[in-house]
Structure 1
């Protein structure tokens, strides 16, 4: 006796439908009709032009991410003219707001000077080229992007991924531990999560390569609504939402397939594999090799799952999952 085993996609479909419904309900944009007689002043035109190319303008909020940033109290022309000036320092974590932006054509280093104000009502000037590496937008999403773009974080992830992968491969050989793609459990969610992470990392690197200004604008003005951004960014945000949903489904499914200790080890291995996918595909795509690697990885992962991991049957006597017909290893019943 045998019955065909269907995969538990119902939870994934239900959660996806709820998330998409909430996003669709919040994507209404009121249509703006500009007045035909309205004319922008020269200062407003300059501000809009600066915003389109630099992605920030007056009253924009930053947070200091460097150890310190020195600001000049006097006007830039006084500093460039060799006059005596005074300065003060803002520290890491301080909040800053753009008070003014000034073009100084006589400055051969950088003609753009930015006046910043801090929480203590102190105002000071600095060159834009000096400011940008030291600050990040005052938004949690922008701070997350800045953290994962940091070279030290990437190196740390590489080291952790290598150590975790080495330990897991040793555990598999010695203790027959479960690991996605190798000694996997009868669930498609872990494989699907790895494929989504690899695809998202490839798309992330593609946006930085082919649409850098679009990505920079998103960095300064982030959102989690995929319907309020250009189509390529929308696809990337959808992949992030799907990654979150599939990740929750994978954790839930692993918890039902394995005991607590084995499930913890398996989820640690899954996180390590996802970290390796993120690093490999986000870096190799910058050199156009990632696209071929992604195609090969998708083919190999799906082939591995459907040939060696997917459970096609369940025992007609005890209901245990069987990968092939024959004697059930749990109750001994013969399934034909």
Structure 2
């Protein structure tokens, strides 16, 4: 008699499949991004990101209550200021948009983990993530402003600082500044592995952060490189990072697994705006089952090694998981 393995025995029913399932999603795995803007009573949809909104700070309670009710435990805060200048001064102003939003969130939801995105691109009139001089993005000079921004955000009550600028030395500059200011308990969630990706287009629409000249390829990573990701992550580990973000996610699941295998820090996937927009566009055209595709995508990120996922799908995914 022919002998072979009966793998299908473990797939015979939904109950059996769940019994042997290896990877699970929970609402608490998700970090939801929110874009805060100036003004009052503003809730305006981002054209390229259906279901994602610009929110004014006065609507914090209503917006965040929904997330809390869905079991989402953390958010990442982005600011879209009215005023921009060549040094991004609104980023590190104690009355900046991220700082005010953080204060308001913590007032109503003290247990919610608030992560502050720490960058300059939304706040500079040139759209780059650092100081620009004669067309060059200056690394070391930019670190001082990023450190000031991180301290200001921590002072406002941010639980985690998430620097996304990809300047060399940004983690140690921020870690030292936080420690000197008395925020030794505030972790750094580093955008350790951030590629110069075409998947960021809708985010730049949402954050009004498109570079006014050139691109970001001198500081964000070449999508063709794999080993470079490990060098970048190693530097951030040595400099004091507490979490390691891999961004984007879908085209970089191999990198996520490499980072997870190499380091013991929690790995965070950033399911970015272009990935979100593609799914939404296909769903609106009736080409896919949005629920099934989104949950499969998010599961792939956890399977690849992510403990947490920053995703614009968080609210929908949390609803689907509770069904």
TM-score range, shorter chain: under 0.3
Larger radius of gyration: 1
> What TM-score do you get using the length of structure 1 for normalisation?
0.21
